[in-house]
Structure 1
Amino acid sequence: MAATSPSPIPAGLEDPVTYKQAVSMLAETGHKVSGNTIARWGLPTVRVGRTHYVDWPDVLEAHRDHTEAKMRSSSNWT
């Protein structure tokens, strides 16, 4: 009997990234977030082995909403 192994490419996501990759890319925006913060946003994830993947466009939309809410609550919002 042949052994099967999971595919290293997650299925079901348009543009999959790990939490670590998402944190790294969002750091370039000037509005950093942690992997735990991204996990709390409740985005759909796909798990391959021990690694969780999220869809990059979903991360961008959630980050936009999170940053907007943060800016609105600060005194710098115009």
Structure 2
Amino acid sequence: MAVAFHTPMPTRIRDGVTFKEASVLLRRTGHPRSKGTLQRWAQEEGITTERVAGTDYVSFTAILKLHAVRVRGDDN
């Protein structure tokens, strides 16, 4: 499934995606998480987000790292 990235893109976050885009991309991992779960995790961990034109962007790298840690915790 292709993910359409919205414009304008954030300026401070190089690999910025929306939480919805991140959720769609994580489906391929076999450990999908909802947009809301990713937002909650990011807030709990203090991950930087940037709001552009009313849309929140987050680093996909940061989400991938957080996802890996949380999924390991879920599976143990």
Q: After TM superposition, is the score higher than 0.5?
A: yes
Task: Name the CA distance, whole Å, in 1 between partners of 2:49 and 2:27.
Answer: 21
The runs of 5 or more residues in structure 1 that have no matched partner are: 1-6, 73-78
Task: Name the CA distance, whole Å, in 1 between partners of 2:60 and 2:18.
Answer: 9
- For residue 28 of structure 1, give the secondary structure of its aligned residue in structure 2: helix
Match of 1:47? 51
| Alignment map for 1:3-22 (pairs within 5 Å) | 8-22=8-22
Q: Using the aligned pairs only, state the percent identity.
A: 35
Instruction: Please tell me whether residue 35 in structure 1 is matched to residue 39 in structure 2.
Output: no
1:37-59 CA distance string (max 9 Å, x none): 11111221100011100001000
RMSD, aligned CA: 1.2
The runs of 5 or more residues in structure 2 that have no matched partner are: 1-6
1:4-23 CA distance string (max 9 Å, x none): xxx81211112000111100
TM-score w.r.t. the length of structure 2 is 0.81
Larger radius of gyration: 1
TM-score w.r.t. the length of structure 1 is 0.79
Higher helix proportion: 2
Runs of 4+ in structure 1 off by over 6 angstroms are none
